[in-house]
Structure 1
């Protein structure tokens, strides 16, 4: 394994910079003296205050430039590329969430298809050293074979969200082939941590506890065949992305897709138990969630489980954070941020 370290002299364009992963990646790069151009439309898919809180931590950096805009606005994207001439682009802006794609499909086509097309077109007309973009573990659909490997067949998405992410991989492959754009897609597996996305289960469960409401668990109460998730702590994700930044794919096909997950799936009920324990510690008292069991939702998959061999081979990356450690950091942050003590 022989990979190049981060180059602080490059200009990094990060879309979705006020988002969960985008914020942490921007901060990591700024801490290392890199120049970061952040783009975000600050939409209200979830609490915008959280996005403003993240941005407020980036604003003091001299090397940070923020552009409020939507990646589906082609002229804004073209102008940004022409003005700042980014060397490396990380496209993390996307309409996220599986269930929401059933209620609001327009948002997914707008952001994940048209928005991504605008980014990749801009890379074509303003050549970049590397384009990294967010794909998702949801492209594996209802694959039964685990762990999921990058070589697996992914032509059976079970949600529109998954279909838009698969389309990103296809578009990137085509543009890479036609215009020699070095591109890397990352299939993220359930990313969690402090300042995370409130639409994610662990965050929602914590909200429900403080609202005095039961949590809904979509596994039919079937503990033998419980849902498995590959929960990946945010710092591990950022480390993986950082290692890839200066290491674009080389060779005939300059497009590569990697799983970026924990390679250690947990039963949902085990994860919930760890969350209860972490929250008990943060609050200094024993707590437990009231639970209601319901059938699995359309678009949800029974298991996500990443094989991370390819990424480890490429850049020596392997996640280190246990769910106990990661959830403790989350609940400590949550209790402090929402003043729950």
Structure 2
């Protein structure tokens, strides 16, 4: 058996290019005790992966040159020498950008064998959903009637944040790129309004949509979106800091946002801003998240839109597009068809 995989060929300077990746085919080695062989079905593409391409200190180790790109997956167990996992099990874990994985991944978890939509383990009931749930409820602490503003509102995390905010009785104001995404946020996800960050009148549009100011700003973006939000923050606003996609490739704008703009606003308005990485809260809060999300799904109160790309060889181009805002919804790569879904 040969494994088709995507490895990091070189480190990007600024925005990544296709030259930074290499698609290769290698033989699958024999299993050792404690390992399983997995046929990956879906791969999750997420903005945080850009930081792992850098050889720099961060909350997670960088991917090394020649290593398989890191990423969350859903797959079927083809063979197992690990207790608790059997052939045919549907599993989720972090086995990376590859079609087959021999792994002892400690995060590997079994899913229902006949799960109707396995890719949900990479969105609503996976890392993005958990990130939205924890960040909004534990750090944003929204109260009924408050205004919650969400950057990247139609993305994997932002779309869930807005829906939870509505379930908690808040006004949900989204920020997204383009009229189509904004219409989806309002008409399908239930946001009260959504503003196009590319509009020349974006700052004034956001102010008009938030006449009583902003109580919670869920930060996924940075850049000019942050600049527009800062003067609208209310006293004692909360700002969960989840991502800064506008700066992942390096700030090349003519007018970068400076600490001198951000820190005085946080001080004068006594804003509570906290960065978080969801792996830090996994054990303590995960069960509560699953209970809430599974209940909302069963009641039809949560929606997700998937942007599905076919084939592992197309993951690099899709990832580059993600960083440019070209995806619409949760971006996943369908690596293979599931032959054991019945």
TM-score above 0.5: no
> 1 or 2, which has the higher helix percentage?
1
> 1 or 2, which has the higher strand percentage?
2
What's the TM-score once normalised by structure 1's chain length? Answer: 0.36
